Copies of this chain bind each other. A is one copy, B any other.
Amino acid sequence: MPPTSATPTIDDVRRIAAAVSNWGRWGSEDQLGTLNHLTAERVASGAQCVRRGDVISMAVPFDSDGPQRGGWGRFNPIHLMMRDGNDAVTGTTVRDFYGGFDGYVRGTDDLLILPLQAGTQWDALSHMVFEGKIYNGYAATEVSSLGALKNDIAQAREKLIGRGVLLDIARWKGKPWLDGGEAISGDDLEDCAAAQGVEVRPGDIVLVRTGQMGQVKAEGDWGDYAAGYSARAPGLGLASAEWIHAKQVAAVATDTWGAEVLPTETRDVSMPMHIILIVHMGLTLGEIFDLEALADDCASDGVYEFLFSAPPLPITRAVGSPINPVAVK
């Protein structure tokens, strides 16, 4: 279902969205979307992918050196100590926190201020609104100043562990990283999987590597990585939607800020794939994944499937969650 004009518009987006929409598919009360594809049986088959037992993290460190540059008010995580080892050494833990009683032990405590979209994260199905609706047709007003009364990330608390598949598009294309503006199609995903000798199955969590995280590391600077619409980034193109839908994957994640290609392929739509994938398909989307170590490992042993684990923090009414996704090879 490729766009029918040279420059796709909102009409194309609407058409694709309608074709891959899962509204009502799992009932009018559903808040899980494509996570429904991740059945217990498929979780079990994910566990069977473990061979060596090596664990590879895909999280970017949560700290002040993260990618955020202030766009839309997002900033990098702020970490603060509430009590520390110095208090233990000078005696102020006992004086100021233990009421003067010295029971020998002294604890340390800390605190984090974290925009939930700041680092490696899942977008909840309440993270995107299109024409006044969120996934499954719930009114956008279900996401008020109090948070998401529908489709919050806590719905997924017992999901997002299962079979993971890495599609290393950059390596498959013989590049260290894709270019900004380079769109990934369904054919690319299919051909890459075939070339890697891995089958994408229903319920899989599919990780798509563009190499942009590697580029950031090579350049030693986040640059415009999190610059939003104004940036250039490789990513999922409109022509990937139908493949993702047909494959019945549970979730997709990439190593970029916004998962989809930037600038977008549409003349008038800011993030068409967010409309199609999140709002209509009900796909849980992962962003800012560091896939470099995993990709190296997969390239080295030729095995692109693994147990993937990244259940979100059950933050009530949240529209996203920070995660530390791990692959177990």
Contacts and interface: CB of A to CB of B under 8 A. Distances in A.
Contacts of A46: 53
Interface in A289-314: 307, 309, 311-314
B146 A96 contact: yes
A77 B129 CA distance: 26
A256 to B, nearest CB: 16
Contacts of A272: 105
A81 B147 contact: yes
Contacts of A85: 126, 129, 134, 139-144, 148
Q: Which secondary structure dominates chain A's binding surface? A: mixed
A5 interface: no
A24 interface: no
A215 interface: no
A116 B109 contact: yes
A55 B311 contact: yes
A274 interface: yes
A87 interface: yes
A76 to B, nearest CB: 9
Contacts of A81: 80-81, 143-147, 319
A54 B38 CA distance: 10
Given A104-B130, A326-B158, A52 B61 contact: no
Contacts of A53: 39-47
Please tell me how many copies of the chain the complex holds: 4
Interface string A121-149: 00000111111101000011111111111
A201 interface: no
A72 to B, nearest CB: 6
A50 interface: yes
A323 B323 CA distance: 9
Contacts of A13: 104
Contacts of A319: 81, 108-110
A18 interface: no
Contacts of A42: 53
A interface bracket (residues with beta carbon within 8 Å of B): 35 or more
A96 to B, nearest CB: 4
B132 A89 contact: yes
Interface stretch (A62-70, A173-181, A185-193, A246-254): A62-70
Contacts of A97: 72, 145-146
A154 interface: yes
Interface string A235-255: 000000000000000000000
Contacts of A1: none
A106 interface: yes
8 contacts: A55-B158, A89-B140, A91-B141, A101-B270, A105-B129, A109-B116, A109-B320, A112-B113
Interface of A: 10, 13, 39-48, 50-57, 59-65, 70, 72-75, 77-93, 95-98, 101, 103-117, 126-132, 134, 139-149, 154, 157-159, 161, 229, 268-272, 274-275, 279, 307, 309, 311-320, 322-324, 326, 328
